[in-house]
């Protein structure tokens, strides 16, 4: 094996030889180009992995640009593992979804050492042994989990964890990360190996990145995790290539042509084929050694040069892991010990009031910058007036702060003996600090009454465009602020009427960016109904509730109590005309005062009609799992506001999908209910599969339901199905019904199914 000096000299000679050949118009040999790649990868490892460059940047750039020239002139000489892939491929329109052949599961948490001991006892009990178990302890890195698929030694796929079943294809992006080998360094690579691990950013690299962001006048990243995750999910890999990302492997997925006896053996193998493994990883004999390791790093985590929020503890032996198996979303052979939150003193320099999308006024403490768990903290929410009074926090106070869940900054208490003598209690404003509208108190919260308040509008648009909402790529916070401040949009409906001329007139918005944004807005018009329901920002309606609502109501009009043509047919023409002039929804009728142009007698009749129409909707809402008085009240209030219907009217005219079309298919006329966790897909994915085949999904069990699909840890729906005699099927039977089982379906005949016994308790 050649030493570093010999490789440097070989590179210089090869540079001269290949440069001369190019000048003479002669094609280099395949062997020489391969050798040039190997030399460049050697220097990549010295610089990016070992942090020990042995040639100048100028000399490295010369070698690299020589390879670029050769591959550009002779594309047949470019290989899949060429280091030139690290420059970044052309931008993509979106990130394709890929399915993990082996799911990427999450981990159960341990919050103290007793939890670790209980975990150890469970493992021993399930294995039926009493002797000490050998565990591997690794730092729980705070970045983004990815899976790298190698086929015959070549990196062919990089995917994010996503929901564990499906992730995003980020292959061009991960190829730009210098510490990830494009080709495994082995003469005998397995046919398939998936290396899972964490992409993260070291603190020094994070600070350098934010320094560059400041110099460019661009927004800084709040913490290393967000920087790493945002960098990997870029549509333009050249942006990822500029970011100083790092990677440590911590698990394997699919294997073909290789086996490991222990987890630590896998890590050492990964190191031998070109990965850098975490130097602090340790094999521990017994749970007390594990606790010593966790205790040490709890006290010394400030010595780490990367963000870590705990320790992952894994049973080392793979055969033990296979015996222990998995729960619905986590393995029984691993657990994550979470570091206790770090607590520090700082000073409250000011208390400001922010206004959210629902009009809630939130007091925020502006703090003297303090580093907590590796992130610089400059502000913390004080939630509401009651919390301020409980803490008795004032401007100038010294306070103890931590990051709740190691994410959200929180004021724990005031250090009263350090309080300035001239401090004064904080008072909530009686006028909105943004629009000046009166402030009213609803329960514990103060609310701005201005529906068109710019702060609320910006918040509503941000929520609407979010990934969980209408998923409008490229519509970020700064652009939203600009669009509202310039008067180009006053509500979410206006987004669909933006023109190229509106956008290119904005600072830092070129034609390409404007075109991409308009395409993203157009694409969002066809999102599923549950995404639109969530995107409207109804208080207390999260993703899950929105999905359940969409299973019961098949359009926004049905949910909102829209006054339909059918409704007004039974009314005199003049009354129908006046009703339509004033109201969109029966909920509006119930909440409004009588218009002057509707006679008293007819107003009473209309309100009675409204009560009957809306009661059916309310009853349906109450039948949905997890929907109670407050959520129903929020939905009713939302659709009682004329502003909501003005937005819906804009969306409808712009062509946004407001209803879910019932598809025809082999499950037409069949109604399904799901309970428990599914292994092969999420409940939302399962529901989408049913709808795509013409079936319906209900949120509660009744005699009208055709199938109750039971996963792991089913709830009360399972008991009710047994009581009502509704047909119960397991996950495998469900997969066969939708055509994704082991044998699929033949000739369109559905499986007969069978009732199943109550599942055995887990562990």
Query: Which residues are CB-contacts of 91 (< 8 A; sequence separation ≥ 6)?
Result: 235, 236, 237, 238
Q: Are strands 707-710 and 728-730 parallel, antiparallel or unpaired?
A: parallel
Report CA-CA distances (Å) from 743 to 695, 740, 746, 750. Answer: 21, 8, 8, 12
> How many beta carbons lie within 10 A of that of residue 532, not counting itself?
25
119/331 Cα distance (integer angstroms): 12
Query: Which residues are CB-contacts of 358 (< 8 A; sequence separation ≥ 6)?
Result: 447, 456, 459, 537, 539
DSSP character for 417? G
Residue whose pair of structure tokens reads 């879910």 in the numeric block? 660
> How many beta carbons lie within 10 A of that of residue 227, not counting itself?
23
Secondary structure, 3-state, 374-437: CEEEEEEECCCHHHHHHHCCCCCCEEEEEEECCCEEEEEEECHHHCCCCCCCCCCCCECCCCCC
Q: Are strands 696-697 and 671-675 parallel, antiparallel or unpaired?
A: parallel
Report CA-CA distances (Å) from 21 to 16, 29, 65. Answer: 9, 10, 15
Please check whether residue 753 is in contact with residue 707, taking contact to mean a CB–CB distance below 8 angstroms. yes
Angle at 524 between CA 518 and CA 528, to 5 degrees: 175
Angle at 542 between CA 536 and CA 546, to 5 degrees: 70
Q: Which residues partner with 555 through β-bridges?
A: 659
9/3 Cα distance (integer angstroms): 10
Q: Are strands 445-448 and 134-141 parallel, antiparallel or unpaired?
A: unpaired
SS3 250: strand
398/633 Cα distance (integer angstroms): 41
Of 26, 93, 140, 282, which residue is the catalytic one? 140
666 is catalytic: no
SS3 154: strand
DSSP character for 496? G
Element (H, E) at 547: helix 543-552
> Which one, of 689, 721, 692, lies nearest residue 707 by Cα?
721
629-639 vs 600-622: helix crossing angle, rounded to 10: 140
Q: Are strands 360-372 and 408-414 parallel, antiparallel or unpaired?
A: unpaired
Element (H, E) at 134: strand 134-141
Q: Which residues partner with 283 through β-bridges?
A: 136
Q: Are strands 192-200 and 246-256 parallel, antiparallel or unpaired?
A: antiparallel
> Which one, of 455, 465, 633, lies nearest residue 536 by Cα?
465
The full DSSP string for 618-678 is: HHHHHTSTT--HHHHHHHHHHHT-HHHHHHHHHHHHHT---B-----STTTT-EEEEESB-
What is the chain's alpha carbon radius of gyration, rounded to the nearest angstrom? 30
> Which one, of 462, 484, 460, 458, lies nearest residue 472 by Cα?
462
> Which one, of 699, 702, 705, lies nearest residue 684 by Cα?
699
Please check whether residue 205 is in contact with residue 179, taking contact to mean a CB–CB distance below 8 angstroms. no
Query: Which residues are CB-contacts of 215 (< 8 A; sequence separation ≥ 6)?
Result: none
> How many beta carbons lie within 10 A of that of residue 279, not counting itself?
7
398/98 Cα distance (integer angstroms): 50
Catalytic residues, by residue number, are 140
């Amino acid at each position: 094996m050649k030493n570093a000096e010999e490789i440097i000299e070989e590179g210089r000679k090869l540079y001269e030889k290949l440069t001369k050949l190019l000048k003479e118009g002669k094609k280099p040999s395949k062997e020489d180009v391969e050798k040039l790649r190997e030399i460049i990868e050697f220097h990549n490892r010295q610089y990016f992995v070992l942090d020990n460059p042995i040639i100048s940047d100028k000399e490295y750039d010369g070698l690299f640009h020589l390879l670029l020239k050769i591959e550009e002139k002779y594309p047949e000489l470019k290989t899949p593992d060429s280091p030139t892939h690290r420059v970044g491929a052309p931008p993509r329109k979106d990130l394709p979804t890929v399915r993990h052949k082996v799911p990427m599961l999450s981990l159960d948490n341990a919050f103290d050492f007793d939890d670790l001991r209980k975990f150890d006892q469970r493992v021993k009990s399930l294995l039926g042994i009493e002797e000490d178990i050998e565990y591997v302890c690794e730092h729980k890195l705070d970045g983004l989990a990815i899976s790298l698929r190698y086929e015959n030694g070549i990196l062919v796929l990089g995917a994010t964890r996503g929901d564990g079943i499906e992730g995003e294809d980020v292959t061009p992006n991960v190829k730009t990360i210098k510490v990830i080998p494009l080709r495994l360094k082995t003469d005998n690579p397995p046919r398939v190996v998936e290396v899972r691990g964490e992409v993260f950013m070291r603190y020094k690299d994070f600070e350098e990145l934010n320094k560059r962001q400041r110099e460019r006048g661009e927004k800084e990243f709040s913490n290393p995790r967000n920087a790493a995750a945002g960098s990997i999910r870029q549509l333009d890999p050249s942006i990822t290539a500029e970011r100083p990302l790092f990677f440590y492997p911590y698990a394997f997925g699919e294997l073909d042509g290789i086996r490991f006896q222990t987890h630590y053996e896998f890590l050492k193998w990964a190191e031998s084929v070109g990965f850098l493994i975490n130097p602090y990883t340790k094999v521990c004999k017994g749970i007390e050694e594990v606790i010593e390791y966790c205790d040490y790093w709890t006290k010394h985590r400030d010595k780490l040069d990367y963000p870590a929020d705990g320790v992952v503890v894994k049973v080392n032996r793979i055969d033990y892991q296979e015996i222990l198996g998995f729960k619905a979303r986590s393995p029984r052979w691993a657990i994550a010990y979470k570091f206790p939150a770090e607590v520090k003193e700082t000073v409250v320099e000011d208390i400001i009031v922010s206004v959210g999308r629902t009009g809630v006024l939130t007091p925020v403490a502006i703090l003297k910058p303090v580093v907590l768990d590796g992130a610089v903290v400059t502000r913390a929410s004080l939630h509401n007036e009651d919390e301020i009074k409980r803490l008795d926090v004032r401007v100038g106070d010294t306070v103890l702060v931590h990051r709740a869940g190691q994410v959200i900054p929180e004021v724990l208490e005031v250090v009263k003996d350090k309080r300035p003598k001239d401090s004064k209690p904080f008072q909530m404003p009686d006028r909105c600090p943004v629009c000046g509208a009166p402030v009213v108190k609803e329960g514990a919260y103060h609310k701005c009454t201005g529906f068109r308040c710019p702060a609320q509008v910006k918040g509503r648009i941000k929520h609407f465009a979010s990934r969980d909402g209408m998923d409008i790529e490229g519509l970020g916070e700064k652009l939203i602020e600009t669009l509202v401040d310039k008067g180009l949009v006053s509500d979410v409906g206006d987004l669909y009427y933006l023109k190229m001329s509106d956008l290119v007139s904005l600072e830092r918005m070129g034609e390409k960016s404007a075109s991409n944004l308009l395409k993203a807005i157009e694409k969002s018009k066809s999102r599923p109904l549950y995404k639109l329901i969530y995107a409207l920002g109804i208080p207390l309606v999260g993703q899950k509730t929105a999905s359940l609502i969409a299973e019961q109501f098949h359009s926004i009009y049905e949910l909102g109590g829209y006054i339909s043509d059918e409704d007004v047919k039974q009314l005199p023409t003049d009354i129908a005309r006046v009703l339509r002039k004033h109201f969109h929804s029966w909920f509006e009728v119930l909440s409004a005062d009588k218009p002057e142009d509707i006679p008293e007698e007819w107003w009473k009749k209309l309100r009675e009609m409204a009560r009957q129409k809306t009661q059916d909707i309310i009853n349906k809402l109450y039948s949905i799992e997890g929907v109670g008085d407050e959520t129903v009240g929020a939905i009713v209030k939302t659709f009682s506001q004329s502003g909501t219907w003005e937005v819906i009217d804009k969306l409808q005219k712009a062509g946004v999908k407001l209803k879910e079309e019932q598809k025809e298919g082999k499950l037409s006329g069949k109604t399904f209910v799901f309970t428990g966790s599914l292994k092969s897909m999420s409940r939302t994915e399962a529901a989408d599969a049913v709808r795509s085949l013409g079936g319906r999904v209900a949120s509660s069990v009744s005699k009208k339901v055709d199938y109750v699909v039971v996963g792991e840890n089913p709830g009360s729906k399972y008991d009710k199905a047994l009581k009502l005699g509704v047909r119960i099927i397991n996950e495998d039977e469900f997969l066969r019904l939708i055509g994704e089982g082991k044998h699929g379906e033949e000739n369109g005949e559905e499986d007969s199914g069978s009732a199943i016994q109550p599942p055995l308790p887990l562990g």
